Structure 1
Amino acid sequence: MAITNTQVAKETLGVTISKSSGHKESWWWSEEVKTKIRDKQESFKDLLKCTDEEERLWLREGYKKAKRETKMAVTEAKNTAYKRMYESLETKEGEHAMFKIAKARERMRHDLGTVKLIKREDGQI
């Protein structure tokens, strides 16, 4: 029944598709992380463009190094940001933020793909 309701709703109302930026949790990103990620992506593009085997081996090593540096920068930035956030939650003002975080986590838990009921135009079930 839920599948049928979903199909009818899609046919009647249509479906919108939003494009995700790909970075769902980037509030902790610093400028250092952004530059490291940009460098890693550029080295990967260079690796893909290369056709010479010797140069390709050299570029692969450069990409691996950039990847390691990026992982380290991401880990460091995350740890610093979370540490700062948890320290701020221990204050009186942080109590409000704690409830906001709990509310956001609760919203993320809800499965919006399940249709329980659909109301008619007049509001009746």
Structure 2
Amino acid sequence: MDPKIKWWKLKEDELRVLFKERVLEVVRLYEDVQEWLTENSKVILRIGEEVLGKSSGRTPNDKELWWWNDEVQERVKNKKEAKKKAYLSGQEQDKANYKQEQKEAKRALAKAKAETLNEVYKEMETPE
């Protein structure tokens, strides 16, 4: 697994302010949207790596994603239990229940991640 930038550290006020200041110093406007996106993406990734650091690339055994909340954990737990039941029983109803739990877990995870990222982006936009 490749090392990843530790974006979850943007929850820390000090690092978020430092990251925002550094990005705003370097980000430039370009006439072409594609050029703007390409060049500023490189800047954001470089500054993210410098300010926030990178992971070791190993996946810890007790992996817990930073945007997971209680609802996501409960949905994933229900999904795992439904999968186990479907596997052991082999009944169509249990398989259908597992598929439903799987959809609900994905939905809860996507919602939690989007909400958390929106909070981070809003905080970055707020002038200090």
TM-score normalised per structure 2: 0.50
Q: Structure 1: where are the runs of 5+ without partners?
A: 1-17, 94-125
**CA separation in 1, counterparts of 2:127 and 2:103?**
39
**CA separation in 1, counterparts of 2:97 and 2:82?**
7
Q: Which runs of 4+ in 1 moved over 6 A?
A: none
For the residue of structure 2 that corresponds to 1:20, the secondary structure is: coil
Greater helix share, structure number: 2
Letter of the 1:73 partner, please give it. Answer: A
The reply on whether 1:90 has 2:125 as its aligned counterpart is yes
Query: How big is each residue's C-alpha offset from its partner over 1:99-122, in whole Å with a ceiling of 9 and x where there is no partner?
Result: xxxxxxxxxxxxxxxxxxxxxxxx
Q: Of 17, 32, 35, which residue of structure 1 is paired with 2:74?
A: 35
Q: Shift of the alpha carbon at 1:19?
A: 6.8
Q: Shift of the alpha carbon at 1:47?
A: 1.2
Q: Of 60, 68, 77, which residue of structure 2 is paired with 1:20?
A: 60
Distance 1:19-1:89 versus aligned 2 partners, 3 A rule: closer
Q: Of 50, 57, 62, which residue of structure 1 is paired with 2:97?
A: 62
Q: Structure 2: where are the runs of 5+ without partners?
A: 1-57
Query: How big is each residue's C-alpha offset from its partner over 1:15-59, in whole Å with a ceiling of 9 and x where there is no partner?
Result: xxx7722636x10011000000000000001111115xxxx1010
Distance 1:19-1:78 versus aligned 2 partners, 3 A rule: closer
Task: Give the superposed CA RMSD.
Answer: 2.1
Q: Of 72, 84, 88, which residue of structure 2 is paired with 1:45?
A: 84
The structure with more radius of gyration:
1
TM-score normalised per structure 1: 0.51
Aligned residue pairs: how many? 71
Percent of aligned pairs sharing the same letter: 27
